């Protein structure tokens, strides 16, 4: 029996795939920094390991953990979030197929589907994912193969009804994929809501320390897992042993980190929504957010990401982003440190001129786990005087 069978989330995050080393008793499994493995005899492998592109014990431990965290059967680990997405798309799509995705997804996801796979003959339609009727209308019977859901979305923090979208997608035989990066499995588990695949940029909250890049997929379908694992092996976008180990180390504190991220972000969102320089705060933890009640039902807390629109337009947004001190101006998100991002020219620059273009008065915050009083003071000094 697995040591994590029937255990709760924090226990799973610490123990899944983390059996102690039987030869030494080391509590932390070693990093298997090796490219190849000695065989018992020709074609007879030790533990199933032959060559580290095909499998590595450190990567196996991460994949076991990913599956357990999301309540799934199969976990796969990749060199980046986009590598995970690309492998899934390659496993499912052929030229002529169609993808429906939200009109507020990560710019890199849209770029991958629209430009990389678009050049291969895959078509896509962007739609307001909170409008189930619009989503259903966008599905082309027999041609739409994937419904790509991101909730909360990036950067406008839209909340999509996963169970409702699953019902729509499955009625048309469409695979429902949920990017769970912003929420993390500590706050939301899409497979339990009926989704077919969960995707993560493990660079973000799972790794949690801004020191490793990675991606992950979790699913229950054996056939889809086999096809995706073949792409992982044949194309080789695998996570390296040290990267997998760092991600595992980060995951062990995921739940406690998400509690602090969420509480800090909610405090900051409430502070910002009353500031005269702010036009709007995008955070599902606020009662004023249109997706608040839905987020309460499908998430256990509201996460550490929020965005804000400035009344003063682009110039005010830029000045704020460049005036922060504890909130460092940088790409990415989900680390223990707080970051500020100007999406229009950073994470979402690739979607300028499309339906996904982000307004120039928007700033995105990744709220870290620092002392809340220090974060509030940093915001106050960067904002115009009230």
Residue positions annotated with a catalytic role: 53, 106, 179, 204
Strand order in the sheet with 278-282: 278-282, 305-310, 362-366, 339-341, 328-329
Q: Is 266 helix (H, G, I), strand (E, B) or coil?
A: helix
Tracing tokens 């900051």 back to the chain, one arrives at 268
Q: Which helix (H) or strand (E) holds 309?
A: strand 305-310
Q: Which helix (H) or strand (E) holds 363?
A: strand 362-366
Q: Tell me the β-bridge partners of 176.
A: 147
Give the torsion through C-alpha atoms of 88, 89, 91, 95, to 10 deg: 180
Q: Tell me the β-bridge partners of 211.
A: none
d(CA 127, CA 234): 33
Three-state SS for 137-203 is HHCCCCCEEEEEEECCCCCCCCCCCHHHHHHHHHHCCCEEEEECCCCCCCCCCHHHHCCCEEEEECC
Cβ atoms of residues 130 and 160 within 8 Å: yes
Report the number of secondary-structure helices (H) and strands (E) in the chain: 12, 12
Token pair, residue 264, equals: 């800090």
d(CA 247, CA 20): 18
d(CA 344, CA 357): 7
The C-alpha angle with vertex 328 and arms to 327 and 331, in degrees rounded to 5, equals 120
Q: Is 250 helix (H, G, I), strand (E, B) or coil?
A: helix
């Amino acid at each position: 029996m697995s040591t994590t069978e029937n255990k709760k989330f924090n226990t799973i995050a610490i123990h899944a795939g983390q059996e102690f080393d039987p030869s030494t008793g080391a509590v932390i499994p070693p990093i298997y920094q090796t490219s190849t493995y000695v065989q018992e005899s020709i074609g007879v492998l030790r533990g199933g390991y032959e060559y580290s592109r095909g499998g590595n014990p450190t990567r196996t431990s991460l994949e076991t953990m990913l599956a357990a965290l999301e309540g799934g059967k199969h976990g796969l680990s990749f060199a980046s979030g986009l590598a995970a997405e690309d492998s899934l798309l390659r496993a499912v799509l052929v030229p002529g197929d169609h993808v429906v995705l939200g009109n507020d997804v990560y710019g890199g996801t849209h770029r991958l589907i629209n430009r990389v796979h678009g050049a291969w003959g895959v078509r896509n339609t962007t739609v307001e994912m909170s409008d189930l009727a619009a989503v259903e209308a966008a599905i082309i019977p027999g041609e739409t193969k994937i419904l790509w859901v991101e909730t909360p979305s990036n950067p406008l923090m839209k909340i999509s009804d996963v169970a409702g979208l699953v019902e729509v997608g499955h009625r048309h035989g469409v695979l429902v994929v949920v990017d769970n990066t912003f929420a993390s499995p500590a706050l939301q588990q899409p497979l339990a809501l009926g989704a077919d695949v969960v995707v993560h940029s493990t660079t973000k909250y799972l790794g949690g320390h801004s020191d490793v890049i990675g991606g992950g997929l979790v699913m229950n379908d054996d056939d889809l897992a086999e096809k995706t694992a073949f792409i992982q092996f044949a194309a080789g976008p695998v996570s390296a042993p040290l990267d997998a180990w760092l991600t595992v180390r980060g995951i062990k504190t995921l739940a406690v980190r998400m509690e602090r991220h969420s509480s800090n972000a909610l405090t900051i969102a409430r502070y910002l929504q009353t500031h005269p320089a702010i036009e709007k705060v995008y955070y599902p933890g606020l009662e004023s957010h249109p997706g608040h009640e839905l987020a309460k039902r499908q998430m256990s807390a509201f996460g550490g990401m929020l965005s804000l629109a400035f009344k003063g337009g682009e110039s005010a947004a830029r000045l704020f982003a460049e005036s922060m001190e504890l909130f460092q101006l940088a790409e990415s998100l989900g680390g223990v440190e707080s970051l500020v991002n100007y999406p229009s020219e950073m994470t979402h620059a690739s979607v300028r001129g499309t339906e996904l273009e982000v307004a120039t008065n928007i700033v995105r915050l990744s709220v870290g786990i620092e002392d809340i009083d220090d974060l509030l003071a940093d915001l106050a000094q960067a904002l115009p005087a009230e």
